[in-house]
Structures are given as C-alpha cells and as structure tokens.
Structure 1
Amino acid sequence: MARGLTFQLLETPYFGQGGSTTNAPELKLDRRTFLKSALAGSVTPAFPQLALAEASAGFLELNAVQGKANLYGDNGGASDLWLYNHQLPGPEIRVKQGDRVKVRFTNQLSEPTSVHWHGIRIENAMDGVTGLTQPAVQPGESFDYDFVAPDAGTYWYHAHNMSWNQVPRGLAGPLIVEDHEQHFSADTDIILMLSDWRLDDDGVLDTASFGAMHDFSHAGRLGNWLTVNGTSLPDIPLKKGHWHRLRLINTSSARILDIAPDRFGAKVIAVDGQSFNEARNMPGVMQLAPAQRIDLALRPTEAGTLPFEMMTGQPFTFANFQVAEAPANDRPLSLPPVNRLPEPDLEDALEIPLVMEGGAMGGMRSLLKERSEDEIRDMMQNGLFWTFNGVPGVQDEPMFNARRGETIVLESRNDTSFAHAMHVHGHHFRVLERNGKPLDHQDWRDTFTTAPREIVKIAFVADNPGKWLIHCHMLGHAASGMRTWFEVA
C-alpha cells in the first residue's frame, strides 16, 4: 500500500486541491528508502492525558516548549518543533459535558503566544485570540484559562498568535468533551490528528519558508508529508466485531483532506463536534478542511489489514487499521445525544454579506475597482493579499454588531481563485445553502469550506456576548487579510 503514497510524494509533492501542484520542496527518496522509513516503528502512540481529576485541586499545567521529533521516521533528521508539554500532538484533555476546565498555560517559547479552544462555545475572555479577547502571553509568562465545556464532541486546541508560524510547528492538541453515558470503550474511542508538514530533502521541517509571501497569496502553506498523531503511516489497532469511534481532526495549516468513509465501511456520526441523530452512510468523498473534524463509526467484520486511504488527488494509503480477533460483541451502535444549540429564526434575521477578494491568479487585480495601483502595491508590500468586504485584516470597528439572541444569516461569496475554510468563533452555525441550493442536511458546523466562485449561506444565533473572530483557517490567508470580527452585545 505504500506505493501509492510514494508516487504522490515523488511525482506530485503537493497532493493539492483539485490535483494541482506548486513549487514544493520535493523529498527525493527512492522507494526502498521510503518503505524502510515508513514501516519503522509504525504504531500510533497513545495520547498522554491531562485528566480532569488533576484540575479538581487546581489547574492543569500546559506548557509551550521547544522540542524535536523525527517526522519522517528513523531515516529523517530531527525537526525543530514547538510542542505542548514536549508531546506531539499535545496532550489529550478529556472532560465530561458541563465540567469546568482550568488550564494554567505557560509560555516557554521565544515569542508571544496564546491558546484557542477551537469549537467550544465558551466565555469570550477565554477564547484565546490575542489583541481581541486577551493580550498575548509573553515568553516566561502564564495565563489561566477557566471555562465550562457546554457541548459534547470532538474539539481541539491550538496556538492563536502568529498561528501561521506556530501551529505548523506542532502547537496543537485534542480536546474531547464526553456526554455522561459511555457509548464506546476507552480502547475503541480513537483520536486521529492529521497533519501535513513541509519537509526538506533530509526529511526535516522546512522552517526557512515560514511566512513565504507565495504561500500567503496562493493556497497557503501546503506540506509534502502526512502524519497521524505525529507518526507516518501508522498501524491503528481495532477489534473485530466491535464498534469504534474514530475522531478525525485536521490540524494542517492549509491542506484540505478528502476522505471516503464508505471505502472502508465507516459511517459518519458527527461533524465539527456536533452529533447526528443517526449514523449516515456517505458515498463519495467528504472534505476535511483545516480545523474541521469528522467522527466516524466503524465495525470491522474481518481480521487483518484495512487500509485508510486519502482521496486527495490519486488515492493512497496514509494509515492502516490492524483488525485483531476479539470476543464477540453484539452491542448495537450507540450514538451520543445531539447537543442543544439555539435554532436560528430565519424570519427575523440580520443578513450580513461576506465577500472574499484578493489573492494571486488575478485576485489582486479585482481590487483595483476599489483602490489605485499604488494602494494595491502598498498592501502587497505589507503582506496583505486578501479582503473581506473590501477590507484587509482586523479593523478597530467590527464588521457588524448583533443583539444577544439575534439570528445572523451570513452569505459568503468567494470571488477568489482558491478554496477557503471559514471559522466563526464562539458559535456553531447551520450551513443552509450552496450556490442558492438548500442542502439536504443543514448540519451544525464551526468551520465551512467554500470553493472558488461559490456562494455559501450560514445561519446562527448570536447568543454568546463578546468580540468574536471570523477568519479563514488557511492560516496564511488569515495572517494576510482574511480576518474580521463581530460583537454580540
């Protein structure tokens, strides 16, 4: 199964959106070298947990530190990474719905940072957005995060200051909120954090290209190597005849991953942490954009190796499920209850446009109707390539103000040549339409994907007071203009 992956890496080093390629640093490795490295020590590491019990007497300790890891296996050099608690990914934080989470974060890096709790509807002061909800945590300083986890589901945490530089160095970890019933045993509830990395010819993280203007103005920082929980081509143990919950989290800084659950018999039970009423068979391909999550239910019927394939470009195996014989288990699939989120009132909604413009491939020229060539040149020299509603980056005034409890209908129009993953902080929304066509399943999301020239309409209830960010989760796009905010009174 490694041959497909080798072909992708050697022939199309950026296995990118729509099969396109860019001038990526190519790993010049022959097939023998690849197989030797990919199969060495390929066991998915268990997540060390920061148990809630530790927080009952105080705070969980979460430290951002410098560290090293062999991303390309034993044949690659050690990469300089930034890690939480010296772990890749960061330690799992697993709590119960309604629990109070107290984390004392300490910054031991050389630059300021913060922690964003992605997808959790928490108090605004705990959201972790530097310059908007809190000051950056300076080197050597600490910040106490203290919030209640209101909704069960699969979430994650990551750096949110200069995130284009910090997240793709390793600053990310899983946050799991369980409901109060046990639906899956500990060994059948499996987290899979998917990350792509840009490695050089020695299999070492390419740090010199962080902040490259080409990445900012094009599709973002796309990597040429995939890991699952920090390991390349891992073996993931499963039990024959038992239901498993696979929690997929895309922590890549720009890579959209295409997953085909039906190819290995999995059903979809949740997206972005929000459970469905019933498991769905999903033929075809599902997109897992940066920051998005998909929860799958899988009950393997045969022992042996079950390949887990990526459908981005040419299909290739990026992990293998190793299904072992196990005592019979006739327990039916049990799904967690659906979270109670406020339903939008579409009859009495504040309608807001969100027009995306800019970027390469002719996108900057589209801004000339609003600016002179000198103004466009100044924007580009300042690293600003994108706009929302004609405005680049976060401004002093919000894009809109909302009354608490007011329904917001946001209609986004992607007038650029690239896909974007739009994230709304502090709220979940229903995706209503794409290009004017109502969706069969208007699921809850906190991040939605929009293709070039696509119009997407979402709706949510602005019930969480404070200042909330809206941005593209292609992190280079956010840094170069695709960021704005709104305020809930």
Structure 2
Amino acid sequence: MSRLRLVISGVAALAVLGPLGWMWQDSLLPSAYSVMGEHARHGGRSVTTLVADPLRKADVEVTLTAREARFRLASGRQVDGYTLNGSSPGPPIEARQGQLVQVKLVNASVPGGVTLHWHGVDVPNAADGVAGVTQDAVAVGKEYVYRFVARQAGTFWYHSHQVSHEQVAGGLLGALVVHPAGRAPDVDVVALTHLYRGTRTLNGAESDTRVAAPPGARARVRVINTDNGATSVWVTGAPARLVAIDGTDVHGPAPFERAAVLVTAGARADLEVTMPADGSPVRVQVGGPLSVVLGSGAPPPSARPAATVDPLTYGTAVPLKLGPPDRSFRYVIGRRPGFIDGVPGLYWTVNGHLFPDMPMFMVAEGDVVRMTIVNDSGEVHPMHLHGHHAVVLSRNGVAATGSPWWVDSLNVGTGESYDLEFVADNPGIWVDHCHDLPHAGEGLMAHLMYEGVTTPFLIGGSANNSSE
C-alpha cells in the first residue's frame, strides 16, 4: 500500500511538474533573435534603406551627447540618472514644418548603449531608434545620425528606446516642437512633465513655469507627458481650447471651462487660452502640484474639475476619406501566469500569447488598416504605434462624432475597446506597444510589418539590444 501511495504521488508530481517544466523550457529565449520570427527571410528592402533623402542638406542640425551622471534639478536636488548635453530633460529641439532635422547622438558613458526614438513623428524607419529592430544600440564611444523631414507641425518628444523603462525614467528624453509655417501664437510654451526617482518636475524643475503674457495675448501651452501613467491638465482664470492632440490639430475646438484634459503616457495635448483683458493671470495645472502660470501674479491652485473633455465628441466633424479597410486586426490585451525567458510571473498577453510569441500584423504599402484594441487585462494601457497616426472610429461601440481624433498614444482603460484606422504609408517594421514602459518590458509589445521589408538587427546579440 505504501509503495502504491509513492507511485501515485510520483505520478501526480509529474502531472504537475511536467507541464511546468515544458513551459519553462519553451519560454527560454536564445541569446540573439529577430523580431521577424517566422517571417524572417532573405531579400526585400532592409530597414537600413528606409531613410530621408541622403543628398538633401539638413536645415536643423543638433548633437546630443548622452551620459550616465549624477545631475542637479533646478531646485538643487541631486538625481542619479542620465543626461543629454549635460542636462535632463535634454535640450528642446525646434524646427519648422518641412525642414530636414539631423541629430547626431554620441554615447559618452551610458554603459548599456542608447538610442533615440522620435515619439509621435512619422520618421523613416531607419530613424525610428528602436534597438534590435531599426538599429543597434549605440555603444560607449560610438555615434549614430538620425535624419528626418518634419512633415507634420505639432508637439512631440524624443527618448531612448534601449532598456527604455530604465533610461527614460532616468532622464534620457527631451521636447521636440515643429512649428507651422503660418501665424504663431503670441506666447508658446512647453510643459514637459517627468517624474525623477519619485520627484515630480515640470520642464526639469520642481516649481511652476512662469511666462509673461500680456492682456489679450493668445497663449499655447504644449503639455508633454513623459511618464508611465496618465496625467490631467486643467485651466483656471480663463476658458481654454484643446487645439491639438498628439501633434494633430483639432477641428473646431470650442472653449471650455471647469473641465480637465486627460493626457495619457507618451501623449501630448496643446491647450490655447486668450489672456483676460483686465490683465488677470491664468494657471494651467499639469497633474495638480505644478503649473504653467501665464501673466503676472497667480490665481491659487484649484482641485481637478469633475468633468473631462472627451475627444470622441469634442470639436466638429470632418468627413474621413480613408475608404474601406484592406486589412483588419484585433489586439486583445490580457494577463495570465506563465514564464518569459524562464522567469515565472503574471505577464501581459496579446491575443492570448505571451512574449515573444506575439502577433505580427502584416500589411502592404497603401493598405487601409483597421485595428481593434480590446483591454481585458485589469489595468490601463497607453498604447503607442510607431511611424503612424491612427484615427479613432469608436470606443466601446460608440462612434466618434467630434473632430477626427488622430492619435499615436491612446489611453485604453480596462474593459474598453477601440476601433482605429490608419493608412499604411510608411514602410518598415514598427513597434506597437504599451507606453507604460515597465509593461512593455513585461512583454506588452507587438509589431507592424510591411511585406517585403526585412531587418538585419537582432534582440540581444553582441550589441545587447533591448528595446524595452
């Protein structure tokens, strides 16, 4: 009887441990692998050929030198992290619409390698800055040149896409503004929010950003959320208009009061106010504790309004001319226990699969693509598609009725679903991931791949590429 019990116990243990052992073994990643997976093949266009006109002279030239460093915030607080040209955020880059921007990245001392991704700018694929997909990480003592035409005016930002959950949090980021050719606002100010090791900052300072603004002036405040979670923005002292989302102008933005604008991780929102004729100041609160204060003096901070501006209905509609979709995909986000590279945990899934067994969304140039994003994971995910802007058609089955809502960073709450469309007009291999960067590091990342495009770059390998 005791022997039978031992046999039964052994069989039961094998029944439990056998599948676990198989799952562990199956999750182990090679030291180097291509994101193309089963789609890898020889021939076709390499991502390295997808560049801006190499014969065109640059209109804006910038050199950014990255260092691992201890630096001081404007308040004097010391932070251990990373700098670009000796500061964090790095220097703001400004261009005019249509100009060619050239940025030389030099890695002086970032030990894990570094890249730069131009968040929200639909750059040529070779300039996208994703380690292991569009380039190798730039090692210490090396450099890489990014070139792209700033075709779309708007508010954008740049950040590392090598071990990004660590390097972005540590300070490898900065603002990028592309100005239109037409009339500029009277006052134009960036409001970049970032959390340094638990310290909330606005434009690198722990204090308000104060800007002179005379009575009657039009002031544009460009909010850039560089953190992993959403923030809210609201205005006291004057009505406001939400004039752009993720670098795209809103059509027919109406003035609003006592309402907040939600800006998800990675997203941007441009607010415009007209300064009161009596000279009263205006406060634009970014996340609550810090503000852009326009004019002299300051109204006291206020609590977040209960109402939230809904881009699904805000502004006035314009007919879309995308046409019926040529390809339709589902991007269903879930969560389940499992192994990634032999490490057990509770991981994010896409269409039921754990990383790296993620879907590859295959398209041909010129396709109209419909993407349905469903979040069944229990947490919010700010979803970011590289190289393209998509228009929101509906949320939870309710059709959009306001201005066309073009996004590159979309806040998808748990239990929500969105239908989006975009035109596949930028060939390459593009990341489509959660911009809560630790989530991306835990496997919430898929790719959009054009037929006939290949990459020679590998995750891991001698360059130690790790895009997230």
Match of 1:321 among 280, 293, 298: 293
Cα–Cα, structure 1 residues 270 and 162, in superposed 2: closer, same or farther, change >3 Å?
same
Give distance in 1, aligned partners of 2:414 and 2:248: 27
Percent identity of equivalent pairs: 29
> Match of 1:209?
none
> Match of 1:344?
322
Aligned residue type for 1:196: L
Quote the offset at 1:262 in angstroms. 6.8
Quote the offset at 1:61 in angstroms. 1.0
1:128-207 equivalence runs, <5 A? 128-185=129-186, 188-199=187-198
Give distance in 2, aligned partners of 1:129 and 1:341: 35
1:21-71 per-position Cα deviation (integer Å, ceiling 9, x unaligned): xxxxxxxxxxxxxxxxxxxxxxxxxxxxxxxxxx85994211111333344
Query: 1:159–1:166: 8 Å Cα contact kept in structure 2?
Result: yes
Q: Which has the higher helix share?
A: 1
Give distance in 2, aligned partners of 1:176 and 1:114: 19
1:357-376 equivalence runs, <5 A? 357-358=334-335, 364=336, 376=338
Cα–Cα, structure 1 residues 457 and 379, in superposed 2: closer, same or farther, change >3 Å?
farther
Give distance in 1, aligned partners of 2:249 and 2:208: 27
Aligned residue type for 1:484: A
Quote the offset at 1:96 in angstroms. 1.3
Matched, 1:62 2:64: yes
Quote the offset at 1:169 in angstroms. 0.6
Give distance in 2, aligned partners of 1:133 and 1:452: 31
Cα–Cα, structure 1 residues 57 and 265, in superposed 2: closer, same or farther, change >3 Å?
closer
Give distance in 1, aligned partners of 2:256 and 2:344: 44
Query: 1:431–1:444: 8 Å Cα contact kept in structure 2?
Result: yes
> Match of 1:466?
428
Match of 2:272 among 289, 297, 302: 297
Give distance in 2, aligned partners of 1:289 and 1:448: 7
1:223-259 per-position Cα deviation (integer Å, ceiling 9, x unaligned): xx3210011122421313211111110011x121012
Query: 1:100–1:149: 8 Å Cα contact kept in structure 2?
Result: yes
Give distance in 2, aligned partners of 1:142 and 1:469: 23
1:323-369 per-position Cα deviation (integer Å, ceiling 9, x unaligned): 149xxxxxxxxxxxxxx999422x233110001011xxxxx26xxxx
Give distance in 2, aligned partners of 1:251 and 1:409: 27
Aligned residue type for 1:245: R
Give distance in 2, aligned partners of 1:229 and 1:317: 13
> Match of 2:44?
none
**SS across alignment from 1:80:** strand
Matched, 1:443 2:444: no
Quote the offset at 1:479 in angstroms. 0.7
1:410-444 per-position Cα deviation (integer Å, ceiling 9, x unaligned): 11110111101000010001011111001222311
1:79-115 per-position Cα deviation (integer Å, ceiling 9, x unaligned): 1120111122111111111111111111121111100
Quote the offset at 1:392 in angstroms. 2.7
Match of 1:354 among 307, 316, 331: 331
Matched, 1:85 2:79: no
Aligned residue type for 1:308: V
How well do the aligned residues superpose, as a CA RMSD in angstroms?
A: 2.6
Quote the offset at 1:384 in angstroms. 6.9
Quote the offset at 1:263 in angstroms. 6.9
Aligned residue type for 1:193: L
Cα–Cα, structure 1 residues 59 and 323, in superposed 2: closer, same or farther, change >3 Å?
closer
Matched, 1:452 2:426: no
Q: TM-score, normalised by structure 1?
A: 0.71
Give distance in 1, aligned partners of 2:275 and 2:347: 47
Give distance in 2, aligned partners of 1:176 and 1:235: 18
Cα–Cα, structure 1 residues 271 and 162, in superposed 2: closer, same or farther, change >3 Å?
same
Query: 2:348–2:443: 8 Å Cα contact kept in structure 1?
Result: yes
Aligned residue type for 1:454: E
Query: 2:171–2:196: 8 Å Cα contact kept in structure 1?
Result: no
**SS across alignment from 1:277:** coil
Match of 2:234 among 219, 244, 260: 260
Q: TM-score, normalised by structure 2?
A: 0.74
Q: Which has the higher strand share?
A: 2
**SS across alignment from 1:143:** strand
Query: 1:354–1:389: 8 Å Cα contact kept in structure 2?
Result: yes
Cα–Cα, structure 1 residues 386 and 87, in superposed 2: closer, same or farther, change >3 Å?
same
**SS across alignment from 1:137:** coil
Cα–Cα, structure 1 residues 383 and 82, in superposed 2: closer, same or farther, change >3 Å?
farther
Give distance in 2, aligned partners of 1:104 and 1:393: 33
Quote the offset at 1:477 in angstroms. 0.4
Match of 1:247 among 219, 222, 225: 222
Query: 1:422–1:472: 8 Å Cα contact kept in structure 2?
Result: yes
**SS across alignment from 1:125:** helix
Q: Which runs of 5+ in 1 are unaligned?
A: 1-54, 200-224, 326-339, 359-363, 366-375
Give distance in 2, aligned partners of 1:387 and 1:246: 37
> Match of 1:230?
204
Give distance in 2, aligned partners of 1:57 and 1:150: 13
**SS across alignment from 2:86:** coil
